[in-house]
């Protein structure tokens, strides 16, 4: 089978989110399906994280006009036709013009941009809102990463049930090995002795970071605890109010902001945190929850969108992510876990983590392409 893949997510230097999800699937395919021919398409040069086998090809020659949209409309369909692809996977919400003889599939990760205002860049919001519905209409199957997203695709985009399929993301990397940190490479700002609460994701309104800060303040006020709060991640869209909240906090000296972190930093933080807090307003899946489980790290998240699917009975939930009192109380609940309770929780985390894997995700994707899903 000849498979084309939208690889434009690999043009960015920071390898997170959608790019990481696509990579984990492709990494499995390299081992499990070596007889296919794969073509990675991009309107700009890409950097793939590992060496590619001979049956993998990068097709990233720019078009005459430096426009990803025009490239997708005029250049990409000609390449699909020239290479006689059996399948084209729109890995990031959109699809090019249809080419006879090629089956199209599209992945929709979430519809947050349809549900919330002001949570993304203008260009990405315009791209997703303009082209996602038409991509879903022309696709043979619409692939979502949770039942919550599948329901949104059905209700918001008016796509029938029988066209939508769910294939969950994984947690552990596709080689089943979480990074082991080298303390000599860890950012010195993180090498403090106090216990701490960890948040790790993009610093942006959708992640509910301001309410984490306010809940943390209430937690300190009520219980006079010494924990720090680590908010790790790159600056996101419309995040100024979050940093203003930190600056105004009477506990700002206890709030650590390392910015975008390395794999060593991440492994160190996950290995040393007291709890992981991820009460996002909306998530298509929630990989960080599973990553925390892999370190036996208790998770506080929100009982909205896909998070209960991911966390199962192994996480603690705020019923309303805006309720800072409830969140502060959960901080205390996790802090006071007994040894027996932690052992029980660790078993639940292990059981929940076993339900998800990138290998399972990648195999399901290939079965969908083969008409079995």
Model pLDDT for residues 235-293, shown as the tens digit of each residue: 887 889 999 999 999 999 999 999 999 989 999 999 999 999 999 999 999 999 999 99
Question: Is residue 300 packed enough to be buried (19+ CB in 10 Å), middle (13-18) or exposed (0-12)?
Answer: buried
Residues 350-366 have pLDDT tens digits of 999 999 999 999 999 99
pLDDT level of residue 200 (50, 70, 90 thresholds): very high
In the 8-state DSSP scheme, what is residue 286? -
pLDDT level of residue 175 (50, 70, 90 thresholds): low
Residues 129-140 have pLDDT tens digits of 888 999 999 999
Residue 310 has pLDDT above 60, yes or no: yes
Q: Which of 176, 177, 145, 170 is nearest to 355 (CA)?
A: 170
Question: Is residue 11 packed enough to be buried (19+ CB in 10 Å), middle (13-18) or exposed (0-12)?
Answer: middle
Residues 335-352 have pLDDT tens digits of 999 999 999 999 999 999
d(CA 209, CA 212): 5
Helices (H), 107-146: 112-115, 122-138
Tell me the two tokens of residue 77.
């369909």
pLDDT at position 72 is 84
d(CA 178, CA 313): 23
> Could you give the angle at which helices 358-369 and 17-32 cross, rounded to 10 degrees?
70
Contact at 8 Å (CB) between 15 and 287? no
Residue 66 has pLDDT above 60, yes or no: no
CB count within 10 Å of CB 237 equals 16
Helices (runs of H) and strands (runs of E) counted in the chain: 14, 13
List the Cα angle 172/283/168 in 5-degree steps.
Answer: 45
Longest C-alpha distance within the chain, in Å? 67
């Amino acid at each position: 089978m000849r498979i084309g893949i939208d690889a434009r997510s690999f043009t960015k230097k920071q390898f997170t989110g959608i790019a990481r999800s696509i990579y984990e699937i492709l990494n499995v395919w390299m081992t499990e399906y070596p007889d296919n021919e794969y073509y990675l398409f991009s309107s700009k040069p890409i950097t793939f994280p590992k060496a590619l086998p001979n049956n993998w090809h990068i097709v990233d020659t720019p078009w005459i006009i430096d426009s990803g949209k025009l490239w997708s409309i005029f250049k990409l369909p000609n390449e699909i036709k020239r290479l006689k692809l059996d399948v084209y996977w729109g890995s990031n919400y959109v699809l090019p013009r249809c080419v006879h003889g090629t089956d199209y599939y599209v992945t929709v990760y979430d519809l947050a941009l349809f549900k919330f205002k002001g949570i993304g860049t203008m260009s990405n919001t315009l791209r997703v809102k303009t082209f996602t519905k038409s991509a879903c209409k022309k696709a043979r199957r619409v692939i979502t990463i949770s039942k919550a997203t599948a329901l949104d695709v059905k209700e918001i985009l008016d796509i029938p049930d029988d066209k939508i399929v769910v294939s969950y993301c994984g947690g552990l990397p596709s080689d089943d090995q979480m990074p082991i940190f080298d303390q000599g490479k860890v950012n010195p700002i993180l090498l403090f002795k106090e216990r701490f609460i960890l948040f790790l994701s993009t610093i942006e309104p959708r992640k509910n970071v301001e309410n984490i800060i306010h809940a943390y303040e209430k937690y300190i006020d009520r219980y006079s605890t010494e924990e720090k709060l680590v908010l790790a991640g790159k600056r996101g869209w419309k995040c100024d109010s979050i940093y203003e909240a930190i600056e105004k906090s009477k506990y700002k000296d206890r709030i650590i902001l390392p910015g975008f972190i390395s794999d060593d930093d991440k492994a160190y933080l996950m290995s040393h945190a007291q709890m992981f807090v991820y009460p996002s307003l909306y998530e298509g899946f929630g990989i960080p929850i599973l990553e925390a489980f892999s370190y036996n790290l208790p998770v506080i998240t929100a009982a909205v969108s896909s998070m209960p699917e991911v966390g199962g009975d192994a996480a603690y939930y705020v019923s309303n992510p805006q309720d800072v009192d409830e969140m502060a109380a959960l901080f205390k609940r996790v802090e006071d876990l007994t040894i027996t309770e932690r052992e029980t929780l660790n078993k639940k985390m292990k059981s929940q983590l076993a339900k998800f894997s990138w290998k399972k995700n990648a195999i399901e994707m290939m079965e969908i392409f083969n008409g079995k899903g």
